[in-house]
Amino acid sequence: MSLTTPSTVRPLPQVTWGRVRQSRRTADRIMKVTAAGFTFLAIFVLFWILGMLVVKGLGGLSAATFTQITPGPGSEGGGLANAIVGSMVLTFLGIAVATPIGVLAGTYLAEYGKGSKLADLIRFINDILLSAPSILIGLFVYVIMVEPLGGYSGWAGGVALGIIAIPVIVRTTEDMLRLVPGPLREAGSALGAPPSVVITSITWRAAKSGMVTGILLALARIAGETAPLIFTALNNNFWFSPNLLGGVSNLPVTIYQFASAPYENWQQLAWAGSLIITVSILVLSIIARRIVRGGK
């Protein structure tokens, strides 16, 4: 039976099968070529952007870029020293605001709030804040800080960047703490350690590299943010005052203002700044990815 069936059945399907197969194969091939083509298009755009930055940015890079301050309208030369330092100050201010809040909130969601409705709601809202437009956060900080305090300041810029960083840190902290196996916590509790001690000296320690990754990712996310700074820290062409009041120079807004300006040295500095900022961010994200992969 099993031997005879194929031999009697075989000829019939082969006729129809063969005809269908051609069109199915064509459809399959078209899909494969399209999918591969789309992927290479996206990678091509990435390398196009990076290539453009290297070609146009390297020309503008020199020692002066790192030692001199941004030039005024029409003046010669100049560098980006104040913008680079300002950007670092604002970014670290943002991370300093966001890290304690983000880590503690992520800890609450992962450790204390398990199964509670409120924690679910907070997690949901956090995910929404994660993709909320950064320009709205800039406007928000303008309304609550810049307008009442009577002027642009580095503090407002740092707070705006911090608010953008918080959801990133909350999310990664929670995800990383959830990966810590439960028996580890139980062992700590069995020794008589209260929950706070279990969390700080056992769970956090076990999830440390993942939590650091979250902070690095947040750093990479806010380092290039431009829109929120336009409404908060603004920019200026001088060294900012140490109390961070008034405009604080920073790379993204400098690039924005210099890129389409009529002065050639401004445009060159915009390209140099773009190269510096993009390379730093890409390096940060790659390091963060390495830590995650090494940890697993």
Q: Which stretch binds other proteins (CB under 8 A): 8-16, 80-88, 205-213, 227-235?
A: 227-235
Tokens for 241, please give them: 């005052």
Tokens for 91, please give them: 């970014």
Q: Identify which of residues 93 and 97 has a Cβ nearer to other proteins in the complex.
A: 97
Does residue 14 belong to the site contacting other proteins (CB under 8 A)?
no
Cα 107 to Cα 114: distance, rounded to the nearest angstrom: 10
The CB-of-262 to other proteins minimum distance in angstroms stands at 14
Q: Identify which of residues 143 and 187 has a Cβ nearer to other proteins in the complex.
A: 143
Interface residue with other proteins among 9, 43, 179, 261 (CB under 8 A) is 43
Does residue 277 belong to the site contacting other proteins (CB under 8 A)?
yes
Q: Identify which of residues 41 and 67 has a Cβ nearer to other proteins in the complex.
A: 41
The CB-of-114 to other proteins minimum distance in angstroms stands at 12
The CB-of-278 to other proteins minimum distance in angstroms stands at 5
Tokens 């109390």 sit at which residue?
243
Cα 20 to Cα 24: distance, rounded to the nearest angstrom: 6
Does residue 9 belong to the site contacting other proteins (CB under 8 A)?
no
The CB-of-242 to other proteins minimum distance in angstroms stands at 24
Cα 277 to Cα 229: distance, rounded to the nearest angstrom: 15
Of 104, 106, 105, 229, give the one whose Cα is nearest residue 164.
Answer: 229
The CB-of-25 to other proteins minimum distance in angstroms stands at 7
Interface residue with other proteins among 9, 52, 96, 191 (CB under 8 A) is 52
**Residues 105 to 124: which contact other proteins by CB under 8 A?**
105, 107-109, 111-113, 119, 121-122, 124
Does residue 278 belong to the site contacting other proteins (CB under 8 A)?
yes
Cα 296 to Cα 291: distance, rounded to the nearest angstrom: 9
Tokens for 137, please give them: 């956060």
Does residue 137 belong to the site contacting other proteins (CB under 8 A)?
yes
Q: Identify which of residues 31 and 184 has a Cβ nearer to other proteins in the complex.
A: 31
Does residue 230 belong to the site contacting other proteins (CB under 8 A)?
yes
Does residue 201 belong to the site contacting other proteins (CB under 8 A)?
no
Does residue 166 belong to the site contacting other proteins (CB under 8 A)?
yes
Does residue 281 belong to the site contacting other proteins (CB under 8 A)?
yes
Cα 276 to Cα 261: distance, rounded to the nearest angstrom: 19
Does residue 126 belong to the site contacting other proteins (CB under 8 A)?
yes
Question: What one-character DSSP code corresponds to residue 224?
Answer: T
Residue 130 CA neighbour count, 13 Å, CB half: 17
Question: Helix, strand, coil shares of the chain as percentages rounded to 5?
Answer: 80, 0, 20
Contact 95, 162 (CB under 8 A): yes
Tokens 């030692």 sit at which residue?
67
Cα 167 to Cα 180: distance, rounded to the nearest angstrom: 21
